[in-house]
Structure 1
Amino acid sequence: MSSPDSHVDLGAGLRTAMSRAYDVPTEIDNLEPVSAGASRDIWFFDARPSGLPTQQLILRRDPPSAPRPEQMRREAAVLRAAAETGAPVPEVVASGDGASDVGSPYVIMRRLAGESIPRKILREPQYAVARERMTRQLGEIAARIHQIAPESVPGIQSQSEFDTWVAEYGASGPPSPALEIALKWLEEHRPPAAGTTVVHGDFRLGNILVDDGGVSGVLDWELAHIGDPMLDLGWVATKAWRFGGAGQVAGVGSLEDLIGGYAAVAGWTPSIEAVRWWQIFGSLRWAVMCRRQANRHLSGSEQSLELAMIGRRFAENEYDLLLALGLTAPRELPDPLTEIATVDDPVFGQPTASQLLSAVSDDLAVSREYADRLRRGAIDVVHRELLLGDELRAAYADALGAVGYRDERELAADLRDGATAINDDVLAAVRLGVEARLTVWNPRHLASS
């Protein structure tokens, strides 16, 4: 059948898929989109199979424009295998390539109770007890995931995380001096492999469901593969996935508690130094992922404001890597949009371009729609760059020139080759470039620790 894009078409496709799954005629109600995100479309719906109770379900579907059937088959298989280990995962009810029903590869699961929005998990009072328990629970769950038998997931692939992401970084775009400094450190301090297991691959806050008692589910298994199990422990502790929380692990807890929970189930205790290495590597990995997602938009293969905006988050990871290595420190930087001088344009007068951008941003600020928040964010980035871009470019060019470079690509290449020393002047130039990007993208990030 053709790829369903409307609620009506998707509902008809789901009726076909669920009637086949339950082997009785099944009606579909309350079909609502949860997101049309950076990688998968997600929908909630109720299935009413004839003679059976109503089932609350969730559909994860590839965008019809970017189907990945083999990856979706692996995701369904790994979910089923994870359930066998006792890991809290949604039950798979149906899966397929979508050709005869929902229009693109999919998996349909029973809906689990719980909250996945990090802001709510970290701040709302009802999750206070959960926050106390989560870190150890995450360690225990990671250990169960690593008990999945690889042969139970047909087609699952092995991946050398470090080599894979270093290669992808090289192919993703211009080199970054900050990432080159971090890569040198990672290469010099790389720990021995802790083993080879099935790993979740995206084990972090945002892909975890939490109820009043703690972790109730682990979602989004599309990056599962065979690799070093310490990837999952380092990833859940990567700074980006703290979402402003104070704890090193998911914004709520310590590495010691995470490792303790893991050891209780796995029967061995990971090295905290190894987990810290994977935690730092996580910022490099997320930096490259940001570029990869932005490149999907920039190449024209998948037009998306969300993907385009993620590309600017690369600078957050540059800062996070320098911070983790003790090469920068947090500092407060006022948002240039908070104090905009009102100056008449000698030709166009008022409202000026700056005032018009502020008006659009303020208009979008009243909306609670995710798409409008994205639009407002993009407007604000453009506005900051128009206000300060020339000044920041000139300051960075001066700093690079002071250490003998015309642009940061030359500096990054020499850092990679060891042709220039990492001294105070070079570090000052690298920090200035990162700070310039963050001043435009997200000045508040410069105060984060």
Structure 2
Amino acid sequence: MAGGEREALAAPLAAVMAGATGDATVTDLRRLSGGASRETWMFDSGQGRFVLQRARPGALRGLATETAVLCAAARAGVPVPELIVDGSESAALERPFMVVRAVPGETIARKILRDEEYAGARGTLATQMARAAARISRIDPADVPGLVADDQLGQYRAVLDATGEAHPVFEVAFRWLESHRPPMSAPRVVHGDFRLGNMIVDRDGLAAVLDWELAHLGDPLEDLGWMCVRAWRFGGARPAAGLSGYDEILEAWTAESGTTATTAALRWWEALGTLKWGIMCIMQAQTHLKGVVRSHELAAIGRRVCENEYDLVVLLEELMGG
């Protein structure tokens, strides 16, 4: 990280924080790793520790919808970082931004699943996540007007076709998913990337749900199915986040949401999630191979396509009663 970039950001950020908190102190400003569409910074002030997220130059998506859904989630009782500054429509830091209060805890899944520090959290974490997913589904879509409804199956069918690659296992999966599609609920708010890695966990369990940029309208079981995808178990032995069984998270979700769902429907979404992740791996590899972004990490992710193909073979055999 260039010192000049940090120095250029510090003064306007101090002015932003002074307006929001009355304290213009900004210390230990440092850039963290972030996604393709935004920068992430952490800093301290007299009011505590904060996280700044700012859109990267040329980013196609702003932050207005994400800040709106973050606030709606907080009102619904979902544990989320407190929004301090909504800069989604501001030019104070040159590009859209938001500042949230930092939440203590861990996000690295393998530490959460293995370190002794989180042993007490592991017994309840998956059901806490299920209850949080249920609260997300209770958000009134009218409170977040920027969200759009997605047909995940149709969307990823089009994405795979656009890659121009032949993957027979994925074709079988698409046919099975289409012929076994469960009844869909009325569109509700869905997080869109609800899994370990996007959760802050402390010794008591779930402390905050992060990364709302993929939020959309859909079937709320999408979030539960995604947390059961084998890739997001990170080596854990049990289906739900590597920590719990299907029945346990469905029971917690039903108790919180007031609606019921079947294990068969949940596992349909698990299968779709596995297919989606496999297609995402193709997309990320092609980003490298086509020279859009040269990255060893993206190239390595492409090698995981076959893992998802294997996972789908095993999963579909189970679901077909083979």
TM-score w.r.t. length of structure 2: 0.91
Aligned positions of 1:203-352 closer than 5 A: 203-326=194-317
> 1:294 Cα shift?
3.4
Q: Deviations over 1:194-225 (max 9, x none)?
A: 33200001000100111111111100000000
**Matches for 1:23-422 after TM superposition, within 5 Å:** 24=22, 26-48=24-46, 54-64=47-57, 66-70=58-62, 72-97=63-88, 100-326=91-317
Q: Which moved more, 1:283-292 or 1:101-110?
A: 101-110
Once the two structures are TM-superposed, the CA of residue 39 in structure 1 deviates from its matched residue by 4.4
CA distance in structure 2 between the partners assigned to 1:180 and 1:28 by the alignment: 53
1:442: which partner in 2?
none
For 2:93 and 2:253, how far apart are their aligned partners in 1?
39
Displacement of 1:60 in angstroms is 2.1
CA distance in 1, matches of 2:37, 2:302: 15
Offset from partner CA, 1:163-196 (integer Å, 9 cap, x none) = 1111112113412112112112212221111332
SS at match of 2:311: helix
Cα distance in structure 1, aligned partners of 2:156 and 2:61: 23
- 2:39 partner amino acid: D
Which residue does 1:430 correspond to in 2?
none
1:332 match: none
Residues in 1 aligned to 2:113 and 2:7: alpha-carbon distance in whole angstroms: 37
Q: Is this contact kept in 1: 2:113–2:122, CA < 8 A?
A: yes
Report Cα offsets for 1:26-65 as digits up to 9, x if no partner: 12111122213444332211134xxxxx22111223333x
Secondary structure of 2:91's match? coil
8 Å contact kept, 1:94–1:109: yes
Aligned to 1:19: 18
Shift of 1:301: 4.0
Structure 1 or 2, whichever has the larger Rg, is 1
Does the 8 Å contact 1:248/1:254 carry over to 2? yes
- Which whole-Å CA distance do the structure 2 matches of 1:29 and 1:258 have between them? 42
Identity over the aligned pairs, expressed in percent?
43
**Post-superposition CA distance 1:230-253 (Å, at most 9, x none):** 100100111110001111011111
What code does the residue aligned with 2:59 have?
P
8 Å Cα contact 1:255-1:272 kept in structure 2? yes
User: 5+ unaligned residues in a row in structure 2: which ranges?
Assistant: none
Distance in 2 of aligned mates of 1:272 and 1:110: 37
**Contact conserved, 1:38 with 1:293, CA < 8 A, in 2?**
no
The total of aligned residue pairs comes to: 316
Quote the Cα distance in structure 2 between the aligned partners of 1:5 and 1:183.
50
Q: Distance in 2 between matches of 1:86 and 1:247?
A: 27
Report the AA paired with residue 187 of structure 2: T
CA contact (8 A) 2:229 2:270 kept: yes
- Would you say the 8 A contact 2:33–2:39 is kept in 1? yes
Q: Is the 8 A contact 1:41 1:60 kept in 2?
A: yes
3-state SS of paired residue (2:173): helix
Q: Secondary structure of 2:314's match?
A: helix
Task: Give TM-score, length-normalised by structure 1.
Answer: 0.66
SS in 2 for 1:6: helix
Secondary structure of 2:208 counterpart: strand
Q: Aligned partners of 2:284, 2:14: CA distance in 1, in Å?
A: 33
Change (3 A) 1:144 1:19: same
Closer, same or farther: CA 82–131 of 1 in aligned 2, 3 Å: same
Structure number with higher relative contact order (C-alpha < 8 Å, ≥ 6 residues apart): 2
Letter in 2 for 1:47: S
Distance 2:300 2:37 in 1: 14
Q: Compared with structure 1, are the counterparts of its residues 290 and 61 closer, same or farther at alpha carbon in structure 2 (3 Å cutoff)?
A: farther
AA at the equivalent of 1:34: L
Alpha-carbon RMSD: 2.1
Q: Post-superposition shift, 1:306? A: 2.9
| Aligned-partner residue type, residue 86 of structure 2 | S
Aligned partner of residue 33 in structure 2, secondary structure: strand
State the secondary structure of the residue aligned to 1:56: strand
Once residues 232 and 106 of structure 2 are traced to their aligned partners in structure 1, the CA distance between those partners, rounded to angstroms, is 16
CA–CA separation in structure 1 for the residues paired with 2:88 and 2:128: 34
